[in-house]
Each structure stands twice: as C-alpha cells, then as structure tokens.
Amino acid sequence: MGASDKAYDILRQRLIGGYYSPGAQLKEEPIARELELSRTPVRSALKRLVQDGLVNADVGQGVHAPHWSEGDIEETFQLRLMLEPYAASLAAQKGGDDMVLQLRDSNLRMSNAIQANDIDGIQQANRAFHATLLAHCGSPRLRSILELMIDVPIIVRSFYLSNRDDLEQSLSHHELLTRAAAARDGDLAMDAMRLHLRMSHQRFLQHRESFQQSTPQGDASEPKGQRKIQN
C-alpha cells in the first residue's frame, strides 16, 4: 500500500467513525507528522476525500470535516429506501455461497462487538455487511451510487445514539437478509432490506433531539471522544 493510500484509508475510517468533530479542519502538516508521512501523500489523500464527498473544501479555508444537516440525512434515507432493497434483491439472486459466508462473518463480528460495547467494531461489521451485498449485486452503477450513502449515518454518529435493543434489532435484520441470500430469495431480501432501512430511519427520527445535543462544542480542531452503547 502506498503512502497516499495509507493516509486515505486512515482518514476515511476516522471520518466514518466520527473521530473528527463537525467542522474540524484537517491540516496537512499535523496529519503528516502524526502519520509519519510527508505532506505530499496527505495532500493527495485529502483531495480524494474531497472528491468522495467525505470532507468539505473551500477556497482559502482549507479542508474540514462535514456538517450533515437533518435534510441531508433524510434525503439519504429516502434514496437508500428506493435503491438498496433492489440491490439486496439482486445480490440474493446472484451472490452465491461465498457472499453468504461473508455475510455470516459480518453478523458474527457485529454480534461480538455489541456484546463488547465496541462501537467501532459495530460500525465496521455493519458497513462490511452492506458493502458485501453491494459488491455482489452485479451492477457497478448501482454500487457506486450507494457506496457513499451507507457511510452517511455513520459519519453523523447515529450508532452512538443507538441503545442495545436498537443494535440487536439491526443485527436480526442482517440475519434475515442472510437467510434470504442463502435461499436465493430476491423478494424476501428486498422486503427485509426495506424493513431494515425503515426501522433505521425511524430510530433516527426518535433520536433527533439526542443527535442535535450530541454535536460537539468548543474547539472543532480536536477529535471527539468515544461513547459507549446506551443501555
């Protein structure tokens, strides 16, 4: 892996995991120093993040971690509701046994992470599950449209607002989707994904006030702390 790819992967995971406060400036020099890299690969990584829509860049103001409004999140949920059930249906029909094994592995990792109160582990397992379905849907265009969308709720830290029942319910939906894929049942996979996304949307609406209150205050250049699963 090249230095630019290393910097990109680390910064992308930090942004997805909510490591940086909304509006935090991502400066080349301190990042390069922290990662023990030169500024050139860090600059390249930041450009890729801008192209991916994961950070904001304004002339004369540098690169900043994004602010996601409720409207942004609402639009993302609605787009996912229209597109991701179809992708799940295609994947269930085309994915095969290898995909099912990957889905089961993601479910096991998510279950273990829930038990361990490991938010990062839950995020990673959840993203791996959805990314696996997209990777096997057989439509590069659909995959490219949805790949960034599956990260948006993570960027705004919706997992930090979820309680254990929420997370267990999400895992049960993943398990239903896995059974649909094992049975090559596209209709069941479509219905299961639609239910999964609708419940995720409803949880977000329920936690809206908590979401607003959780926005870090103070110096936006400092990374925010971790939180435990709410019981």
Query: Helix 70-94 vs helix 119-135: angle between axes, to the nearest 10 degrees?
Result: 50
Strand partners, 58: 62
Supply the DSSP string of 24-58, one letter for each residue. Answer: -B--HHHHHHHHT--HHHHHHHHHHHHHTTSSEEE
Cα separation, 230 vs 224, whole angstroms = 18
Strand partners, 57: 63
Q: Assign 63 to helix, strand or coil.
A: strand
Element (H, E) at 62: strand 62-64
Q: Is the pLDDT of residue 198 over 90?
A: yes
Residue 213 has what pLDDT?
53
Residue 109 has what pLDDT?
98
Confidence band for 135, pLDDT divided at 50, 70 and 90:
very high
* Of the candidate ranges 35-39, 72-76, 115-119, 193-197, the one whose mean pLDDT is the lowest: 72-76
All structural domains of the chain, each given as residue ranges with its CATH number in brackets, are 3-64 (1.10.10.10), 70-213 (1.20.120.530)
Query: Helix 119-135 vs helix 140-147: angle between axes, to the nearest 10 degrees?
Result: 160
* Of the candidate ranges 27-36, 64-73, 99-108, the one whose mean pLDDT is the lowest: 64-73
What number is the average pLDDT over the span 171-179? 98
Cα separation, 44 vs 50, whole angstroms = 10
Q: Assign 216 to helix, strand or coil.
A: coil
- Higher-confidence position of 128 and 230: 128
Q: Is the pLDDT of residue 216 over 50?
A: no
Cα separation, 215 vs 163, whole angstroms = 18
- Higher-confidence position of 32 and 9: 32
pTM tops 0.85: no
Supply the DSSP string of 87-104, one letter for each residue. Answer: HHHHHHHH-HHHHHHHHH
Distance of CA 153 to the CA centre of its chain: 6
- Higher-confidence position of 180 and 200: 180
From the list 117, 119, 148, the residue with the least C-alpha distance to 131 is 148
Reported as a single tens digit per residue, the pLDDT across 77-134 is 899 999 999 999 999 999 999 999 999 999 999 999 999 999 879 988 999 999 999 9
Confidence band for 22, pLDDT divided at 50, 70 and 90:
confident
Strand partners, 163: 230
DSSP state of 64: E
- Higher-confidence position of 106 and 230: 106
Residues 40, 33 contacting (CB under 8 angstroms) = no
Residue 225 has what pLDDT?
43
Confidence band for 74, pLDDT divided at 50, 70 and 90:
confident
Q: Is the pLDDT of residue 59 over 90?
A: no
- Higher-confidence position of 151 and 208: 151
